[in-house]
């Protein structure tokens, strides 16, 4: 993906709404009334390894573009109550997790570094008391630079974190003002340099394209600043403007947003500049240096995709803790209550706050495997896939291949008797191609974001 090709006709034709496919079926399809006993059973029957995700929802300021589950507050004590709730939630799972070993831990949000040093220490003490971590467990955390300093970074390293991801989005001041997230290049530079000196093994910078007032000239400046900081990874996400779902996005004037063609120009510029700087394109929206584990996993055909995006985490059991967190273990997916007040209320009442979920059918598992291959590797050996799942590929996916035929005519995908390949022309539209294999997708489903 070091080069990208597109034309305006494809933008007009394929810039529809569709899932990001961090899971299949997508989280929007999870249903109420899920029996929490299924979650415990799935964990009990899973292997000895466990991956943990903790959602920490608090932020001190509202970023207008953000679609994450968050709570805006400057009251530090709110984190104390939340940690108490997490402790109660962990007890619900403990009977089936006590014998497992945690190989991965990721703290996301919200803003995990909303927690002060004492609260971060308390959280890690809780987790290490209630879970068994492997000696080489990988601990990662998302950081808002405005809520972190060198002292907090030092503590995180002492607590065992080895991977950090700093939210940048864009260094341009006009863009920052429009999204209500102002932070200087100097602040990020100080933290990145400190993280490197402290020995963090992986430093990621998050960027977002499609934000208000972005254009190639200004975004090129941001890209050059990012390249100068020399992170191990760069995440480049497409801004999803869904003001009907996220009230804060209504503060962003629609006329300030780049159109689909302009967004593709921003994406193409990013691919070009990061590629020239030595970054390998990973899947749809990540870039990594050749030595990074993501790049190594992609070259080995072992790249994974889950609710956190592209990852090397191949653990089959991912347990999500905290408000709105999603778990996937075996053929079960479930999600915690999204509303923080209901989360607090339900924990003492029922011992857990599982709100929605579903059991994946065999067809779900087959299609999830196929979509993951397309999203991660842009190709599929259809003969090996058919042998793996004991099916006739052409017959089983007849309806999907019929939908894919139009994309094939437009040069987005190449299909032979034994292979399916996404072309360079088709890579910006991989979500469209994946949607052809989505048995649940309704035409013109307005719940999803624009593909570009």
Mean pLDDT calculated for residue range 227-252: 93
Report the percentage of the chain scoring pLDDT > 70.
Answer: 94
State whether 83 and 226 are in the same domain: yes
Report the percentage of the chain scoring pLDDT > 90.
Answer: 76
Q: Is residue 145 part of a domain?
A: yes
State whether 92 and 17 are in the same domain: no
State whether 294 and 368 are in the same domain: no
Residue recorded with tokens 């400057």: 74
End-to-end CA distance of the chain: 16
Q: Is residue 143 part of a domain?
A: yes
Tokens of 67: 């679609």
The average confidence (pLDDT) of the chain is: 91
- The DSSP code sequence of 171-234 is --HHHHHHHT----HHHHHHHHHHHHHHT-SEEEEEEEES-TT--HHHHHHHHHHHHHH--SEE
Mean pLDDT calculated for residue range 230-244: 93
State whether 11 and 68 are in the same domain: no
Q: Is residue 341 part of a domain?
A: no
Domain boundary among 320, 344, 377: 320
pLDDT of residue 311: 83
What is the 8-class DSSP label of residue 17? B
Mean pLDDT calculated for residue range 167-171: 97
Give me the number of domains the chain comprises: 2
Predicted model pTM: 0.90
Q: Is residue 336 part of a domain?
A: no
Domain boundary among 270, 287, 320: 320
State whether 308 and 372 are in the same domain: no
Structural contact between residues 195 and 203, judged by C-beta atoms closer than 8 angstroms: yes
Identify the CATH number of the domain in which residue 394 sits: 1.10.10.920
Domain boundary among 290, 320, 350: 320
State whether 154 and 103 are in the same domain: yes
Helix, strand, coil percent content, the chain, rounded in steps of 5? 45, 25, 35
Q: Where are the beta strands (DSSP E) in 110-171?
A: 132-143, 163-169
State whether 120 and 57 are in the same domain: yes
State whether 256 and 368 are in the same domain: no
Domain holding 378, by residue range, is 1-24+362-441
State whether 10 and 88 are in the same domain: no
**Residue 65 vs residue 20, higher pLDDT:** 65
pLDDT of residue 444: 44
Tokens of 145: 């630079």
Q: With CA atoms as reference, report the closest residue to 5 among 432, 452, 428.
A: 428
pLDDT of residue 7: 60
State whether 257 and 115 are in the same domain: yes
Q: How far apart are CA 107 and CA 233, in angstroms?
A: 17
Q: Is residue 352 part of a domain?
A: no
Tokens of 232: 């191990």
- From residue 132, alpha-carbon distances to 7, 52, 120, 255, 417 in Å are 52, 11, 18, 51, 47
CA 190 to chain CA centroid, nearest Å: 26
Mean pLDDT calculated for residue range 187-203: 97
pLDDT digits (tens, 9 = 90+) for 126-150: 999 999 999 999 999 999 999 999 9
pLDDT digits (tens, 9 = 90+) for 70-108: 999 999 999 999 999 999 999 999 999 999 999 999 999
Residue 237 CB coordination number (10 Å) = 16
pLDDT of residue 81: 97
Q: Is residue 346 part of a domain?
A: no
Q: 58 in helix, strand or coil?
A: strand
Q: Is residue 89 part of a domain?
A: yes
Q: Please state which of the ranges 216-225, 278-287, 327-336 shows the lowest mean pLDDT.
A: 278-287
Does 325 score more than 70 pLDDT?
yes
Q: Please state which of the ranges 114-123, 264-273, 358-367 shows the lowest mean pLDDT.
A: 264-273
Q: Please state which of the ranges 8-12, 136-140, 194-198, 424-428 shows the lowest mean pLDDT.
A: 8-12
Structural contact between residues 3 and 424, judged by C-beta atoms closer than 8 angstroms: yes
pLDDT digits (tens, 9 = 90+) for 338-395: 999 999 999 999 999 999 999 999 999 999 999 999 998 889 999 999 999 999 999 9
Q: How far apart are CA 171 and CA 133, in angstroms?
A: 37
Structural contact between residues 113 and 152, judged by C-beta atoms closer than 8 angstroms: yes
- Which secondary structure element, helix H or strand E, spans residue 55, and what is its range? strand 49-56
Mean pLDDT calculated for residue range 213-228: 97
State whether 75 and 197 are in the same domain: yes
Q: Is residue 356 part of a domain?
A: no
CA 309 to chain CA centroid, nearest Å: 3
Strand-pairing partners, residue 356, are 32, 335
pLDDT of residue 446: 46
Identify the CATH number of the domain in which residue 187 sits: 3.80.30.20
State whether 137 and 206 are in the same domain: yes
Strand-pairing partners, residue 49, are 101
Positive or negative, the CA dihedral 101, 107, 112, 113 is: positive
């Amino acid at each position: 993906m070091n080069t990208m090709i597109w034309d305006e006709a494809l933008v007009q034709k394929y810039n529809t709404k569709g899932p990001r496919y961090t899971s299949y079926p997508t989280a929007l399809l999870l249903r109420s009334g899920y029996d929490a006993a299924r979650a415990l059973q799935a964990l009990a029957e899973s292997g000895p390894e466990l991956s943990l995700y903790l959602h920490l929802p608090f932020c001190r300021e509202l970023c207008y573009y953000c679609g994450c589950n968050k709570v805006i507050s400057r009251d530090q004590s709110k984190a104390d109550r939340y940690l108490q709730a997490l402790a109660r939630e962990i007890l619900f799972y403990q009977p089936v997790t006590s014998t497992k070993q945690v190989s991965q831990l990721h703290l996301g949000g919200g803003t995990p570094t909303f927690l002060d040093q004492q609260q971060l220490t308390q959280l890690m003490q809780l987790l290490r008391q209630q879970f068994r971590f492997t000696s080489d467990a990988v601990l990662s955390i998302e950081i808002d630079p405005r809520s972190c300093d060198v002292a907090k970074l030092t503590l995180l390293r002492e607590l065992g974190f080895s991977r950090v991801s700093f939210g940048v989005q864009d260094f341009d001041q006009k863009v920052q003002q429009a999204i209500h997230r102002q932070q200087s290049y100097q602040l990020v530079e100080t933290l990145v340099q400190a993280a490197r000196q402290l020995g963090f093994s992986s430093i990621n910078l998050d960027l977002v394209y499609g934000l208000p007032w972005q254009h190639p000239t200004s975004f090129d400046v941001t890209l050059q600043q990012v390249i100068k900081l020399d992170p191990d990874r760069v995440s480049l996400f497409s801004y999803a403007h869904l003001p009907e779902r996220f009230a804060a996005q209504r503060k962003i004037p629609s006329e300030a947003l780049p159109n689909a063609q302009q967004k593709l120009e921003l994406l193409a510029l990013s691919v070009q500049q990061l590629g020239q700087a030595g970054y390998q394109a990973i899947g749809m929206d990540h870039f990594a240096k050749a030595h990074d584990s993501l790049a190594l996993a992609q070259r080995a055909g072992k790249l994974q995709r889950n609710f956190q995006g592209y990852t090397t985490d191949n653990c089959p059991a991912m347990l999500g803790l905290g408000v709105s967190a999603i778990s996937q273990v075996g053929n079960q997916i479930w999600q915690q209550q999204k509303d923080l007040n209901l989360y607090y209320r339900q924990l003492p009442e029922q011992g857990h706050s599982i709100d929605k979920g579903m059991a994946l059918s065999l067809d779900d598992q087959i299609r999830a495997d196929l979509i993951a291959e397309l999203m991660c590797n842009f190709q599929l050996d259809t003969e090996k896939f058919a042998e793996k799942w004991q099916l006739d590929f052409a017959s089983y996916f007849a309806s999907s291949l019929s939908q894919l035929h139009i994309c094939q005519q437009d040069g987005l995908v190449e299909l032979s008797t034994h292979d399916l390949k996404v072309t360079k022309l088709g890579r910006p539209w991989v979500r469209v191609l994946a949607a052809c294999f989505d048995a649940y997708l309704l035409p013109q489903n307005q719940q999803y974001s624009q593909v570009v």
